[in-house]
Amino acid sequence: MRNFPRMTPEFEKLLGKVEEDIKKGRNLSPSFDNMDDAIAYLEKKQSIQR
């Protein structure tokens, strides 16, 4: 039997929220092939939130 670290209840709760967001497509950024596309995405998101 191996001794693996156990997750804390708080971490399990947080992980559950993250998994739910992934299922619903919330709070996710797309992947980028280059830095310019990533910066353009962030700038666009920032201008939308203002």
Domain ranges of the chain: 9-49
Give me the pLDDT at residue 29, please. Answer: 87
Residue spans of the chain under pLDDT 50: none
**pTM score > 0.85 for this model?**
no
Q: How far apart are CA 42 and CA 38, in angstroms?
A: 6
Give me the pLDDT at residue 50, please. Answer: 63
| CA quadruple 41, 21, 16, 46: dihedral, nearest 10 | 40
Q: How many residues are given for the chain?
A: 50
Q: How far apart are CA 27 and CA 30, in angstroms?
A: 10
Q: Which of 15, 13, 47, 45 has the alpha carbon at shortest distance from 30?
A: 45
Residue at 10: amino acid letter: E
